[in-house]
Amino acid sequence: MGFEAAPRRTSAEHASFEPVLVFEDVWKAFGRNVIYEGLDLSVMRGEVLTIVGGSGSGKSVLLKCLLGLLRPDKGTITAFGEQVTGRTERDMLPIRQRIGMLFQGAALFDSMSVGENVAWPLRARGWTDEAEIAAKVEQVLTLVDLAGTQRDMPDGLSGGMRKRVGLARTLAMDPEVILYDEPTTGLDPGNIKMIDQLVVDMQEIVGVTSIVVTHDMESAFRISDRIAVLWNKRIEWVGYQDEIATAENPIVRDFVSGNVGAA
Instruction: Give the model confidence (pLDDT) of 185-238 as tens digits.
Output: 888 888 899 899 999 998 988 899 999 999 888 899 899 999 999 999 999 999
Angle, CA of 237, 243 and 246, to the nearest 5°: 95
Residue 55's Cβ-side half-sphere holds a number of Cα atoms within 13 Å equal to 4
Query: Considering the domain boundaries, does residue 172 fall inside one?
Result: no
Angle, CA of 178, 207 and 213, to the nearest 5°: 30
Query: Considering the domain boundaries, does residue 8 fall inside one?
Result: yes
Q: Which domain holds residue 74?
A: 1-97+225-263
Which residue(s) pair with 180 in the sheet?
Answer: 102, 212
Query: Considering the domain boundaries, does residue 177 fall inside one?
Result: no
CB 173 within 8 A of CB 139: no
Query: Considering the domain boundaries, does residue 66 fall inside one?
Result: yes
Query: Considering the domain boundaries, does residue 206 fall inside one?
Result: no
Give the domain CATH number at 13. Answer: 3.40.50.300
Instruction: Give the model confidence (pLDDT) of 48-80 as tens digits.
Output: 999 998 777 888 999 999 999 999 999 999 999
Query: Considering the domain boundaries, does residue 253 fall inside one?
Result: yes
Instruction: Give the model confidence (pLDDT) of 115-172 as tens digits.
Output: 999 999 999 989 989 999 999 999 999 999 999 999 999 989 888 898 899 999 999 9
Straight-line distance from the first to the last Cα atom of the chain, in angstroms, rounded to the nearest whole number: 20
Burial class (CB in 10 A: 0-12, 13-18, 19+), 153: middle
State the total domains in the chain.
Answer: 1
Query: Considering the domain boundaries, does residue 263 fall inside one?
Result: yes
Other CB atoms within a 10 A radius of the CB of residue 207 amount to 10
Query: Considering the domain boundaries, does residue 161 fall inside one?
Result: no
